[in-house]
């Protein structure tokens, strides 16, 4: 007698749309959320995972269940794939930040949605699937305690596709509530942390030399952060994470971070205008202290990837020169300048909606590089063109060489990052020029 076959799940992370920067960026990071959901899936299921940014989706898959993690700019693609698989008789389930904010929309393309953090609702969904009693909506009550999260299923990845498969998470939640940020809308303001020993065990087992700790604010809880840094001492790995610029006031923490392999921090400066920062709810970024704090962080051998937003209400066309000069003079090792993007469910979106300033809900344009709302200090075209020109200038070889004075200790991290974004911007802007000529 042949053994009964297990039900099969195909997890899909959909691809970025054409004509987006991330679609052109060749260094990929794996989707940690799906790897975590895969890890908590009971062994009664066979699992396969496809990251469409690296490999084609098997459109004739014989999986029983097709599960998607959906970010806003990927929603159209997820919905097209959802329609395709439903038409083939598959059970389709979607979760992720976008679906949690727009569940009704997503339900037009799948059988069920998972709203909120997926861990507990996913197990309830699987139970109902097995019992044949599926509902349309599965809501996570409150937030996961993170107590029982097992190591992510990185064995499902084709590792050659990624710059590092070592993405890992210790904490969720951020005590701040910046107006433009999806983190507090989805993960809340209350700090939550996995058991430190479980995290350190998983960290030590990672094969990659460079690890990215995806926590939105590694300094959310200083005491816990210091315990983490002490636990990682002696591990021969480099790591990067995200922190607020105020870490630049904390020499003790910086020393502890550097001593356990921290090589890069993604830091949100967002604006160089105090009025914008006040509107964002980001008063802890003090513009006149930026350079001093940056230099203190860099003096510990920790490179900075600065994050900036253009298009906030007090910005004018002067913002482009101002931002270029700041990034150049601060010798930031790397940076990410985005256009303000009113993602569903966040505070700034409610404000822009109330002011009648949202121009489109075509989610494929919500890529953080396209103007989808009416700014105050420029026309949408002025903002768009100025934004392209700023990135072109910042990724010129001249700018990269000037900023490379600080790369020395961290070449392996910041050279690929700068050259990768330079290539992505060149290719994207070439495509846009071709479109305009056509
Ligand atoms: S932008 Fe950073 S500091 Fe502000 S709420 Fe989001 S994660 Fe917290």
Q: How do residues 348-367 score in pLDDT, each as one tens digit?
A: 999 999 999 999 999 999 99
pLDDT of residue 400: 94
**Ligand 1 pocket residue status of 349, Cβ below 6 Å:** no
Strands 192-193 and 171-172, sheet pairing? antiparallel
CA of 219 to the centre of ligand 1 (A): 11
Q: Which of 111, 117, 119 is nearest to 67 (CA)?
A: 111
User: Which CATH number describes the domain made up of 166-437?
Assistant: 3.20.20.70
Q: What is the pLDDT of residue 345?
A: 92
Does the beta carbon of 181 lie inside 6 Å of ligand 1?
yes
Number of Cβ atoms within 10 Å of the Cβ of 237: 17
Distance CA 154, CA 49 (A): 10
Q: Which pLDDT does position 4 carry in this prediction?
A: 59
The per-residue pLDDT for 3 is: 57
Q: Is 9 in the pocket of ligand 1 (CB under 6 A)?
A: no
Q: Is 51 in the pocket of ligand 1 (CB under 6 A)?
A: no
Instruction: For residue 135, count other CB atoms closer than 10 A to its CB.
Output: 12
Contact yes or no for 280/346 (Cβ under 8 A): no
Amino acid 411: pLDDT? 84
Sheet containing 91-95: which strands, arranged edge to edge? 46-51, 8-13, 65-69, 91-95, 112-115, 137-139
Asked whether the CA dihedral 248, 251, 253, 257 is positive or negative, the reply is positive
Name the CATH architecture for the domain at 8-139: 3-Layer(aba) Sandwich (3.40)
pLDDT for residue 285: 93
Distance CA 181, CA 184 (A): 7
Q: Cβ(10)–Cβ(65) under 8 Å? A: yes
Which residues of the chain have a pLDDT value below 50? none
Q: Same fold for the domain at 8-139 and the one at 166-437?
A: no
DSSP state, residue 158: -
**CA of residue 238 relative to chain centroid, distance:** 20
State whether residue 420 is helix, strand or coil: helix
- The C-alpha atoms of residue 94 and residue 103 are separated, in whole angstroms, by 9
Q: What is the largest CA-CA distance in the chain?
A: 75
Q: Model's pTM, two decimal places?
A: 0.94
Q: What is the predicted pLDDT for the residue at 2?
A: 57
Amino acid 231: pLDDT: 96
Q: Where are the domains of the chain?
A: 8-139, 166-437
Rounded distance from Cα 174 to ligand 1 centre (Å): 6
Instruction: Say which DSSP state 159 is in.
Output: G
268 CA to centre of ligand 1 in angstroms: 8
**Does ligand 1 have an atom closer than 6 angstroms to the CB of 268?**
yes
Per residue in 254-294, pLDDT (tens digit) is: 999 999 999 999 999 999 999 999 999 998 899 999 999 99
For residue 293, give both structure tokens.
């704090």
How many residues does this entry show for the chain?
438
User: Would the CB of 220 count as within 6 Å of ligand 1?
Assistant: no
Report the distance separating Cα 63 and Cα 81, nearest Å. Answer: 14
- Of 297, 162, 182, 167, the C-alpha closest to 243 is 297
- What are 336's two structure tokens? 């990410």
């Amino acid at each position: 007698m042949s053994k009964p076959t297990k039900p099969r799940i195909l997890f899909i992370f959909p691809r970025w749309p054409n004509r987006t920067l991330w679609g052109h960026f060749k260094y990929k990071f794996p989707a940690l959320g799906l790897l975590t959901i895969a890890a908590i899936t009971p062994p009664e299921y066979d699992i396969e995972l496809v990251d469409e940014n690296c490999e084609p989706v098997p459109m004739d898959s014989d999986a029983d269940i097709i599960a998607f993690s959906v970010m806003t700019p990927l929603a159209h693609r997820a919905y097209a794939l959802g329609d395709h698989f439903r038409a083939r008789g598959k059970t389709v389930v979607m979760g992720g930040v976008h679906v949690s904010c727009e569940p009704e929309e997503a339900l037009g393309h799948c059988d069920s949605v998972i709203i909120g953090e997926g861990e507990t609702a996913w197990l309830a969904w699987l139970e109902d699937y097995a019992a044949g009693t599926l509902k349309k909506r599965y809501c996570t009550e409150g937030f996961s305690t993170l107590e029982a999260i097992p190591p992510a299923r990185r064995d499902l990845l084709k590792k050659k596709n990624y710059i590092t498969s070592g993405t890992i998470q210790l904490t969720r939640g951020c005590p701040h509530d910046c107006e433009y940020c999806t983190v507090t809308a989805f993960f809340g303001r209350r700090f939550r942390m996995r058991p430190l020993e479980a995290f350190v065990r998983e960290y030590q087992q990672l094969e990659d030399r460079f690890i990215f700790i995806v926590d939105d604010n590694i300094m959310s809880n200083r005491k816990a952060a210091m315990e983490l840094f002490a636990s990682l001492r002696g591990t021969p790995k480099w790591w990067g994470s995200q922190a607020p610029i105020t870490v630049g006031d904390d020499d003790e923490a910086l020393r502890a971070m550097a001593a356990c392999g921290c090589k890069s921090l993604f830091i949100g400066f967002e604006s160089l205008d105090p009025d914008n920062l006040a509107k964002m709810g980001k008063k802890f970024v003090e513009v006149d202290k930026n350079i001093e704090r940056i230099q203190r962080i860099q003096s510990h051998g920790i490179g900075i990837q600065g994050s900036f937003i253009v298009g906030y209400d007090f910005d004018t066309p002067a913002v482009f020169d101002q931002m270029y000069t700041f990034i150049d003079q601060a010798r930031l090792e790397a940076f990410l300048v985005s256009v303000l993007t009113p993602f569903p469910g966040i505070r700034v979106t409610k404000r822009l909606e109330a002011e009648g300033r949202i121009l489109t809900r075509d989610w494929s344009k919500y890529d953080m590089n396209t103007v989808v709302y009416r700014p105050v200090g420029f026309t949408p075209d002025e903002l768009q063109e100025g934004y392209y020109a700023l990135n072109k200038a910042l990724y010129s070889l001249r700018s990269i060489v000037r900023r490379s004075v600080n790369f020395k200790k961290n070449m392996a991290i910041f050279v690929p990052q700068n050259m990768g974004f330079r290539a992505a911007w060149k290719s994207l802007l070439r495509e846009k020029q071709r479109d305009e000529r056509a």
